Amino acid sequence: MLPPVPSLSFFSAAFSFSTAWRPPLPTVSNPGLLGTASSSPPIPRATDRIPELDGLRGIAIGLILILHFFQNTLNPQAGVVPRYLAAATRLTWSGVDLFFVLSGFLIGGILLDARTAPNYYRVFYARRLFRIVPIYIVFLAAYAVLVYVLPLVSHADLSWLLDHPQPWYAYASFTQNFWMATSGKIGTGALAVTWSLAVEEQFYLTLPLLVRVLPLSSLFRFLLAGIFAAPLVRTLLFYSIPGSSIAAYVLMPCRADALLLGVLAAILLRDPEWRERITRARLFFALAFPVLLLGIAYFTKAAWFVYSPLMVSVGLTWLPFFYFCVLLFALTQRESWLSAVLRNPALCWLGAIAYGVYLFHQTILGAVLSFLGSGAPLIARLQDLPVFALALAVTLLFARLSWIYFERPLVHLGHSWKYDNASAPSELCLSPRAESAGS
């Protein structure tokens, strides 16, 4: 039974409309345009390894690599082809938004499955500590070493990579996004990517309490309110405080819509009735994807930059909502072409090492350019491509070795902390009557 609360009416109406149309179920010989399954597949528990999620991680980090190794470095004056390629890849920065949606889904799912455990907080934060902090400390130490070593071995201009960092204690405390917001500067190129880690760590400080104390229907309403409030907060900040465009991009309340959309997906796919609705909502997806993709095409053609007014007010919610729909579709239509693409071994391989790649790729690019005598990253001719290919290969190799020999053992160590007597099953029910019966 659908939860009779006003805040759910939009989602209920959307999926009810789309499921009212009942085309013939797809067969092996006629899978349909979207290739949907005929019944709702069980959602795996948060502890399961889901290949589609690894594939989405691979796409997210792939977009970031294209941004920093190609889009930002390509000289559009080099010719017509480079100019069109640079234009076509303008939105690759949205890989961070996909990471936010995935993080909300995964962390939200973990917390939902363990929300009744007596050691809920202790286990959650112990596991997060072992996953996030050790490799982050290595990364900060590597930056500190490079600050002193690279100028000694190279005369290349590395100001883009090393100069103007935020205070060291900001990076140590995951508060660098506040310093970026107040200074109006993203900081040194090597450490600039860490703003998103700060957003996620601040999210981890707030979400566990909400999941623990709020009834499920109240949590659902809170998520919807947060998703609608985030673009309003961004827009208000952007227009009310001069020079606050970076603040609207890097502060956690301003980016909460992407994270909360992921948590919303985790709840929807754990409720049997909502999961069934989404699985059958083929018309919804058939209409939503073209509309969302047309919007993305318009953003690209109009060259909406990440700090532009319309991107701040509309685009930074539009893109996460697109990724939210992709996530729902991939996990409910497991026989679709999209899920098959996301299960591609290459994407899953890249997704497994995404954290290490994300942290180190800019630093490794700068180090390679330095040792080869180059300065700022710039692709002005074909002869420049091998340098960036080498930096990419070194990044992937380093991240793979880091995952196998450093990160994965620590993840396993973190999982030696177990949730005790967690009674919350994978399947939840948003009905208030069900919550009352279980209390």
Using one digit for the tens of pLDDT, what is the confidence trace for 248-287?
Answer: 999 999 999 999 999 999 999 999 999 999 999 999 999 9
14 vs 37: CA distance, rounded Å: 19
Q: What is the pLDDT of residue 426?
A: 53
Question: Can you give the pLDDT at residue 35?
Answer: 42
Query: Does the residue 51 lie in any domain?
Result: yes
Q: What is the DSSP letter of 74?
A: B
Length of the chain: 439
Report the alpha-carbon distance of residue 255 to residue 197 in Å, rounded.
12
pLDDT at 353: 98
What's the pLDDT score for residue 70? Answer: 92
In 3D, which of 263, 317, 391, 329 has the Cα closest to residue 52?
329
CA dihedral 219, 214, 233, 301 (to 10 degrees): -30
| Residue 310, C-beta contacts closer than 8 angstroms, at least 6 positions apart | 302, 304
Q: Tell me if 98 is assigned to some domain.
A: yes
Closest listed residue to residue 267, CA positions, set 437, 40, 112 = 112
| Domain-located, residue 137 | yes
Rounded Cα gap, residues 364 and 80, in angstroms:
29
> Does the residue 56 lie in any domain?
yes
Angle at 280 between CA 54 and CA 29, to 5 degrees: 80
Please calculate the CA angle 139-142-144 and round it to the nearest 5 degrees: 115
Number of domains in the chain: 1
For residue 254 the two structure tokens come to: 């301003």
- Two tokens at 365? 């690019």
Domain around 228: 45-263+303-319+330-438
Q: Is residue 203 part of a domain?
A: yes
Provide the pLDDT for residue 310. 93
The two tokens of residue 288 are 């939503």
Q: Residue 38: helix, strand or coil by DSSP? A: coil
**What pLDDT, on the 0 to 100 scale, is given for residue 243?**
74
How high is the pLDDT of residue 74?
83
- Is the CB of residue 45 less than 8 Å from the CB of residue 269? no
The CB-side HSE value for 316 (13 A sphere, CA atoms) comes to 34
- Residues 337/44, Cβ–Cβ less than 8 Å: no
- Residue 275 located in a structural domain: no
CA atoms of 172 and 202, how far apart (whole Å): 13
Token pair for 11: 């989602």
Please, which residues have CB within 8 angstroms of residue 291's CB and are 6 or more apart in sequence? Answer: none
Give residue 334's Cα distance to chain centre.
Answer: 21
Low-confidence ranges of the chain (pLDDT < 70): 1-48, 76, 422-439
- Cα–Cα distance for residue pair 91/303, rounded to 1 Å: 9
Query: Is residue 260 within 8 Å of 104, Cβ to Cβ?
Result: yes
Q: Are 356 and 411 in contact (CB under 8 A)?
A: no
Can you give the pLDDT at residue 18? Answer: 53
- In sequence order, what are the beta bridge partners of 231? none
Q: What is the pLDDT of residue 289?
A: 97
CA distances from 191 to 163, 200, 326 (A): 10, 16, 30
- Copy the structure tokens of residue 39: 């019944």
78: burial class by Cβ within 10 Å (0-12, 13-18, 19+)?
A: middle
Chain centroid to Cα 101, Å, comes to 5
For residue 247, what pLDDT is reported? 94
- 180 part of a folded domain: yes
Residue 311 carries which DSSP code?
A: I
Side-chain-side CA neighbours of 223 within 13 Å: the count stands at 27
Cα distances from 386 to residues 266, 296, 315, 372, 392, in angstroms, run: 42, 31, 34, 11, 10
What does pTM read for this prediction? 0.89
Minimal CA–CA distance to 351: which of 137, 49, 142, 71?
Answer: 49
pLDDT tens, position by position, 206-229: 999 999 999 999 999 999 999 999
Considering the domain boundaries, does residue 22 fall inside one? no
